Structure 1
Amino acid sequence: MSSKSIHTTLENGTPVCIRTITEDDGELMRAGIARMSQRSRYLRFFSGAAAPPDWVIERLVHADSHTHLAWGAIDMSLPDRPAIGAVHAFRHEEDEDCAEFSVAIVDDYHGLGLGKLLTATILLDARDEGIAGFAVSILADNPSALEFTRSLGGRHVGHDAGVFELSLDVEEAIARLRAKCDPPGIAEVFAAME
């Protein structure tokens, strides 16, 4: 599988590379998760543990570009090129038209449009792979993720033990992101992926 990459910028002008995650990215993934605050790790993984078990890292870096799509973001302005965010879509075994979707951003990069850039990337990749919808699980105490998912057309389908379940139509979400063209760096994502 060949690696794909997109070069763009965050809202503050920071240059980033968004690229497919490979099995060689275990240490980058582990370091990125360690840089997240305990609250951010809890909101993303439903656990605040500083170091996820090895099996979690293995699952996150084992992307085959069909059943598991995965993209990571690297800060190109820093000499050590740290991982600053990642997005994943795991195709459902029982419904190959649907995938479980998640995104995580290192706290220092919150509010700079990185979540939107990564989401646009995975949506476009998913469409190319024939995935029509995303299933999204969001903790009830994560209002910003709920608001963002709803802004993309996310529809509430269930609620269990403090977790909201939403469904997201891939084409509709792409159209909404394209219409907003925000952040400006999203234009590079669309140009590279279409």
Structure 2
Amino acid sequence: MKYEKTVILKTGVPLQVRNGCETDAQTVYENFTQTHTETDYLLSYADERSFDPDGDAACLKEKAESADEVELIALIDGKVVGTAGVQAVGKKYKVKHRAEFGISILKDYWGRGIGRVLTECCIDCARKAGYAQLELSVVANNKRAIQMYQKAGFKEYGRNPKGFNSRLTGFQELVYMHLEL
């Protein structure tokens, strides 16, 4: 799915959101490593990567050519400051109406509205792809993210008290949220 948009953040700085492409693989790899080191709220740790830059290049190419999935990068002055994506829950008839949403932003760029922009872009992509529902899970202690998702229209539909097992804090409760499109 092709996507590109530029918005002016509340700080007055332009943010470019576009598909990650093969040539972005190294910087996306570095961004993943940094974001997954800076917070304990994401699904995995930096040392649990399943791809190297070559694998990231192939994945980015595949998403850019997909009709119903996307991996977006957010850039400020040419620097990748965040990533977000929409992925099908599955291809089988009973679940093909559902997509999952994930996002990560460099800690130095939190609080600037980048998460809101990436969330809105992913919602737009999910709608264009024809999904009926967009889903996410978020650590219950991540109050800022939950508020942002609620403002975007996501509703809580359940919790898992031992959803993540953090290396730092032990079990983390996950909040499951969805948005009807």
Q: 1:142 to 1:108 in 2, by over 3 A?
A: same
Deviations, residues 65-92 of structure 1 (Å, cap 9, x unaligned): 334212111112xxxx221111111112
Structure-1 separation of matches of 2:80 and 2:137: 23
Structure-2 residue corresponding to 1:27: 26
Q: Distance between the aligned counterparts of 2:3 and 2:102, measured in 1?
A: 20
What is the letter of the counterpart of residue 80 of structure 2?
A
Match of 2:80 among 83, 105, 110: 83
Question: 3-state SS of the aligned residue for 1:147?
Answer: helix
CA distance in 2, matches of 1:165, 1:21: 27
| Structure 1, unpaired ranges of 5+ | 171-194
Distance 1:153 1:7, change over 3 A: closer
Deviation at 1:100, TM superposition (A): 0.5
Q: Secondary structure at the match of 1:70?
A: strand
Tell me, in whole angstroms, the C-alpha distance in 2 between the residues paired with 1:37 and 1:130: 30
Aligned residues: 163
- Per-residue deviation, 1:55: 6.4
Secondary structure, counterpart of 1:111 in structure 2: coil
TM-score normalised by the chain length of structure 1: 0.73
Structure with more strand by fraction: 2
Kindly report the root-mean-square deviation, in angstroms, between the aligned alpha carbons of the 2 structures.
2.4
Task: Mark the runs of 5 or more structure 2 residues left unpaired by the alignment.
Answer: 163-172
> Percent identity, aligned pairs only?
21
CA distance in 2, matches of 1:108, 1:100: 26
Q: Which residue of 2 aligns with 1:43?
A: 41
**How many Å separate the matches in 2 of 1:71 and 1:13?**
21
Higher normalized helix content (fraction of residues)? 1
